[in-house]
Amino acid sequence: MRKKRIWMPLKYLLCLLLIFAILLSFCGCAWLGNWFERFFFDEYAGLPPYEMGKAFDYSRDFSGIEAKMSEVRFLISKGVDYPRFAALYGELTEQDLPYIAEQTEKYSLLSDLDGSHRAWYDGYVYCRDFEREVALWLIGTEELIANSAFRERYFEGMSDQEIADHIFALKGAYSEEEKALQERIEALENSYYQSNGDPYEIYPHLVEARNQLAAMNGYDNYLAYAHAELYDRGYSMGEIDRLLGYVSVYIGDLSLKAQTRLEELEAASAKWPREDRTLYINFYDRGFQRYGAKQYLDRYAEAMGGSFQSAYDALWNGGYYFFGNDTDNAYTGAYQGYFESEGVPYLYFGPYYQDVMTVAHEFGHYYHALKGRNGDFDLLELHSQGNEMLFLSYLRQHRAELGISDACIERITAYWYADMLDIIVTGAAVYAFERQCYEAADPGTIDLAAALTAALAPYGIDTKDNRYYLLENAISSPGYYISYTVSAVAALTLGFEAERDFSHAAAVYEQLCSVADDVKLTGALAAVSLGTPFEEKTYQTIQNRWQ
């Protein structure tokens, strides 16, 4: 039998595509052209695999540190040269530990920039493991000191019971039982991420294991443990329950209306002139530094002025920023990291995470990290989301001089407001679902599909399309997503203030980024007279904004 000739159909297909392209150019079919440009244009083709704003030194050679560790143990065993011991031990804890953490961070960053560079990934694993070994070594060393001739001088001012409690707390954090349970939790998580396991099967086992970990640490369930120990939140779980009620009453329906309005604007954009379509695509779908959107962020930083503008200018003029451009080997995501030893933050932007709004978000984290080390998760998210809302407000108020049409800025802001409202309801739904599971008498008997439906329904979220998304977040970040809800509510109120008085809102944002390291979100909001996410009037303000 003669083989079929496939080249003729392919030739006809190429001809049809050519005709299609010609028709687009001559007929001005806006929505088709827009669709083609958004989904078939590869901006990363031909780019270098990564870009560094500033190079850095890195090393996995810890031989000098290992020598100090050996000498410290020797000095403890002899118990005769305390000054030498104190000097070396001080160097290890105050200088060498941050140095080791920084090397781990640097190799991790390099691996994110180019995952095909095996030596970088191997360096990350080596540094991470060495960091863990040093942590265990320090615990053992503290116990040795407590049983040595250095005991009284090292633990000066502490009673025998206080010393015993100190050693017990250190050892308890790394007990064999807890270590084994942590390894089981990691194995369950990896079975989902690396083996594409069924989340409906994996999640009940994760809940059970995490609840066992919580019980080891004196808590009724993992959600209560994470709330107090991992996230150290400045509000109670009872206040979260109140927040969930407000979100259900005021935000669920509002989120659906915002999404409907966005869909109307998207349909209307089919009739936009080409320059508006291009501006919108370059704003949300293109690298901000390559397709013109950086000019908007430049002007915004100039309007913010002061230390904000100085930090922004310094970042893009030789600062620590990194772009991963290899769509096959670079980490797809964006984040702010910190070089511990040098004491400076940095920003990473992977493929498809280089648009101007992602940069505005991450710069909010970066700016605060320059000013302090406050670790309150809700406040950290407000720094990033608040910067987004201030940036959008600036664009709205200066659209004419920036060359942005009314129609285009309306769609830009409608998209982001719809996204912020969606963040609020999604975070609430994730938490409500987690609450059902972790507080159940027997997590293994829970009907997860029913639990997801019950969690999503009060917020107007489609059940079918969002089940796996919620499960994935519950698996990867247990108990965390409520922080996105809390911070997004606060960010919206800051955005409304920026619409009323941009200069005042900018000053408020500066204060929020400059709080002391021990301040929590509610305290920071009270200091700048912004409503908290736990007050009904805050949600009434948001609702009235859309009336």
Q: What is the mean pLDDT of each run of 10 residues along the chain (547 residues)?
A: 33 41 45 51 89 97 98 97 98 97 98 96 96 93 97 97 91 74 89 78 93 93 96 95 96 94 95 95 93 96 98 96 96 95 96 97 97 92 97 98 97 95 94 94 88 87 72 89 96 96 98 94 95 95 85
Q: Angle, nearest 10°, between helix axes 30-40 and 274-284?
A: 30
Among 173, 200, 227, where does a domain finish? 173
Judge if 379 and 285 occupy the same domain.
yes
Q: Quick one: pLDDT at residue 500?
A: 95
Judge if 434 and 515 occupy the same domain.
yes
Residue 45: inside a domain, yes or no? no
Q: Quick one: pLDDT at residue 419?
A: 94
Judge if 263 and 405 occupy the same domain.
yes
Residue 307: inside a domain, yes or no? yes
Judge if 125 and 265 occupy the same domain.
no
Pick the closest to residue 389 from 303, 488, 504, 276 (CA basis).
Answer: 488
Judge if 106 and 251 occupy the same domain.
no
What is the residue whose two structure tokens read 């790394």? 174
Judge if 253 and 374 occupy the same domain.
yes
Q: Quick one: pLDDT at residue 465?
A: 65
Q: Quick one: pLDDT at residue 462?
A: 72
Q: Quick one: pLDDT at residue 179?
A: 79
Judge if 294 and 387 occupy the same domain.
yes
Residue 122: inside a domain, yes or no? yes
Q: Quick one: pLDDT at residue 72?
A: 98
Residue 385: inside a domain, yes or no? yes
Judge if 155 and 260 occupy the same domain.
no
Judge if 387 and 497 occupy the same domain.
yes
Judge if 280 and 132 occupy the same domain.
no
Among 173, 192, 218, where does a domain finish? 173
Q: Which two tokens stand for residue 120?
A: 């970088």
Show the domain range for 519.
237-545
Q: Quick one: pLDDT at residue 355?
A: 96
How far apart CA 196 and CA 201 sit, in angstroms, is 11
Residue 470: inside a domain, yes or no? yes
Residue 148: inside a domain, yes or no? yes
Residue 312: inside a domain, yes or no? yes
State the SS3 of 439-507. Answer: CCCCHHHCCHHHHHHHHHHHHCCCHHHHHHHHHHHHHHCCCCCHHHHHHHHHHHHHHHHHHHCHHHHHH
Judge if 159 and 247 occupy the same domain.
no
Question: The domain that contains 525 carries what CATH number?
Answer: 1.10.1370.30
Residue 486: inside a domain, yes or no? yes
Q: Specify the number of domains making up the chain.
A: 2
List, as own/partner pairs, every contact residues 231-234 make where C-beta atoms lie below 8 angstroms and the sequence separation is at least 24, other chains included. 231/377, 231/479, 231/480, 231/483, 232/375, 232/376, 233/376, 233/377, 233/378, 233/520, 234/376, 234/378, 234/520, 234/521, 234/522, 234/523
Q: Phi and psi for 323 in degrees, rounded to 5?
A: -115, 120
In the Cβ-directed half-sphere of 358, how many Cα atoms lie within 13 Å? 23
Question: Which amino acid is present at 489?
Answer: V
Q: Quick one: pLDDT at residue 357?
A: 97
Judge if 125 and 248 occupy the same domain.
no
Among 156, 173, 190, where does a domain finish? 173
